[in-house]
Amino acid sequence: MENTTRNREATHRPFEMDVKAIRAKARQDIESGAVTDTYRADRQQVLKLLNEALATEIVCVLRYKRHFFMARGLNAEPVAAEFAEHAAQEQEHADKLAERIVQLGGEPNLSPKGLLERSHSEYVEGKTLEEMIKENLIAERIAIDSYRQMIDYIGEQDSTTRRLLEEILAVEEEHADDMSDFLAKH
């Protein structure tokens, strides 16, 4: 009962903002761009995670593109179309991650050197359509777990990055579901 009373009192307190102080702080360190002194996350660690996610997305784009071009056999056409759609969505994820890295004052690591080492997923070509579907499902499952762990790590410290990762995670879950459906039909 006592906590409820305190919570009610806290929610009924008038909200006050020191606009003059905010304006003065905004004029300081303007070279930091979007990163203000209220940013609570370990920026270097977040940049490292985002660059790993970026590498993962690039590897996924490359794998899906290869699978799109190499898909052959009966029923390959709808699977190939799905591979192409996923490649485009993974590229969108990579672009959004690179944009966020820059917003945080970092540099997106787009170098092919070390790309696979930075990536959480692997680049497995697959010989048959079924192998390709399985490898994409495995990669999506890796991405899902990676994004969940990054989201948990970031928590409330960087809500913008967390929201971005949550949006990407939702699409990765859809991709996994798509691949799982194809496996069930294959």
Mean pLDDT of 148-153: 98
- Tens of pLDDT, residues 63-91: 999 999 999 988 899 999 999 999 999 99
Let me know if residue 179 belongs to a domain.
Answer: yes
Let me know if residue 82 belongs to a domain.
Answer: yes
Let me know if residue 5 belongs to a domain.
Answer: no
Cβ count within 10 A of residue 124:
16
Domain assignment of residue 123, given as a range: 41-185
- Tens of pLDDT, residues 103-136: 999 999 999 999 999 999 999 999 999 999 999 9
Question: What percent of the chain is modeled with pLDDT above 70?
Answer: 91
Let me know if residue 56 belongs to a domain.
Answer: yes
Q: What residues have CB less than 8 Å from 21, skipping those under 6 apart?
A: none
Let me know if residue 19 belongs to a domain.
Answer: no
Domain count along the chain: 1
Cα–Cα distances in angstroms (integers) from residue 142 to residues 10, 60, 119, 173, in the given order: 42, 11, 10, 11
Whether the per-residue pLDDT at 7 is higher than 60: the answer is no
Cα–Cα distances in angstroms (integers) from residue 149 to residues 22, 24, 42, 46, 173, in the given order: 33, 36, 15, 12, 14
**Where residue 169 sits, what CATH number does that domain have?**
1.20.1260.10
Let me know if residue 58 belongs to a domain.
Answer: yes
Let me know if residue 84 belongs to a domain.
Answer: yes
pLDDT reported for residue 3: 55
Let me know if residue 35 belongs to a domain.
Answer: no
Whether the per-residue pLDDT at 23 is higher than 90: the answer is no
Whether the per-residue pLDDT at 150 is higher than 80: the answer is yes
